[in-house]
Homo-oligomer: A and B are copies of this chain.
Amino acid sequence: MALIVQKYGGSSLESAERIKAVAQRIVDTRRAGNDVVVVCSAMGDTTDELLDLAAEVNPTPPAREMDMLLTAGERISNSLVAMAVHALGEKVQSFTGSQAGVITTERHGNARILEVTPGRVQEAVDEGKIAIVAGFQGVNRETKDVTTLGRGGSDTTAVALAAAMGADECEIYSDVDGVYTADPRIVPDARKLDNLCFEEMLELAASGSKILVLRSVEYARAFNVPMRVRSSYSTDTGTLVAGALEDIPMEEAVLSGVATDDSEAKITILGIKDEVGEAAKVFRELADGEVNIDMVIQNISNSHDNKTDITFTLPKADGARTMEKLRVLQAAEGWEDLSYDDQIGKVSLVGAGMKSHPGVTADFCDALRDAGINIEMITTSEIRITAVVRQADVAEAARAIHTKFDLGGDELAVVYAGTGR
């Protein structure tokens, strides 16, 4: 008998009707001979509605109270799913994050899971019950306060629970039936992938693919929990994310897909002294402000004046405050110029096959050149190439690369609406 952990996102639970459909799927999984543990996000728009209410009573609500408020959302969906499963005749019990033993750091709004002690959940499973666990939430061990895990928290709850319980597979249900070679809304002939290794999924998630949250994939990789991306609207087996890069035989390694990201901006510092420690000052300043910088390029020094240029990308959301900090530094350090550009986009190609296929970078650049798209920055990792281009060119760039590497399928991809938390 296998132990399957299933996670259902908000769009899969947006109405009583959808909840009943999910309950049927849970019960089917159980009756196919599996133990089943289910993790639920909040129903459809619940979280947004609660956020709106909070904004009305306090524009800067305390984080602890915000967590208390938002966790009501999963409590509601969770107990309703339990009721719906019960209506189908299976034994069932719901658990809050705290009851399921999800112990976190005390950072409200963005806590990290420290440990999962699923004793009560395991007991319920041993008694033949289906266990329904509220996602996105945990409890801080010291103060016993309720915490939330931040964006994608329910995925992380599911993976952490699967790891702690030694589950055979962690199924992540949403309105998309798997991981595609590209976003089907941009690349119509995008093809669903049957499987990926953890590193490939990590690179895709880090490059802008929204299908799985980076943190949950990191967790799954660390604890070697196979994840399966599936749609709650179809019976498709979805995409299996499992295994390590080094375990893929070279002859089977392929290119997995193209990811795009238009959430970043670019900052360029011109005429910074080309001396030891000068760039470090910049990045120390950004790290202290908890700004996640992504691509960094330092140009070759202009030998005649001993000065250089630095360019890096960062989330647009951090743009304004980062520029404020850097303007202060510019005055102190005497940089020649400082510029901010939020009209950029990133396009990335990911795949284990890159290791064994020389010339991929050259083909990548050719594809963009042939499409008349200028590359502003480019970086590579072992299994990823990323280019920064004009934001207006991102979709065309993705299509050009997708075609160049023959990633498409014979049929047009099916696209469902919405995304889950």
A residues contacting B by CB (< 8 A) are: 16, 19-20, 23, 50, 53-54, 56-62, 64-66, 68-69, 71-73, 75-76, 78-80, 82-84, 86-87, 92-94, 96, 99, 144, 146
Contacts and interface: CB of A to CB of B under 8 A. Distances in A.
Given A53-B80, A57-B16, A62 B86 contact: yes
Most buried by B among A20, A57, A71: A57
Contact of A93 (B54, B64, B96): B64
A54 B87 CA distance: 11
A161 to B, nearest CB: 18
Top 10 A-B pairs ranked by shortest CB distance? A16-B56, A69-B79, A58-B87, A68-B79, A58-B83, A57-B84, A72-B72, A61-B83, A72-B75, A65-B79
Given A53-B80, A61-B87, A72-B76, 17 more contacts: A16-B57, A19-B57, A20-B57, A50-B76, A54-B83, A57-B83, A58-B83, A58-B84, A65-B82, A65-B92, A66-B79, A69-B83, A71-B75, A72-B72, A72-B73, A96-B146, A99-B144
Chain A: interface secondary structure? Answer: helix
B75 A69 contact: yes
Question: Copy number of this protein in the oligomer?
Answer: 2
Contacts of A84: 57-58
Contacts of A23: 57
A20 B56 CA distance: 9
Nearest to A75: B72
A259 to B, nearest CB: 37
A19 B62 CA distance: 16
A64 B73 CA distance: 17
A53 B61 CA distance: 29
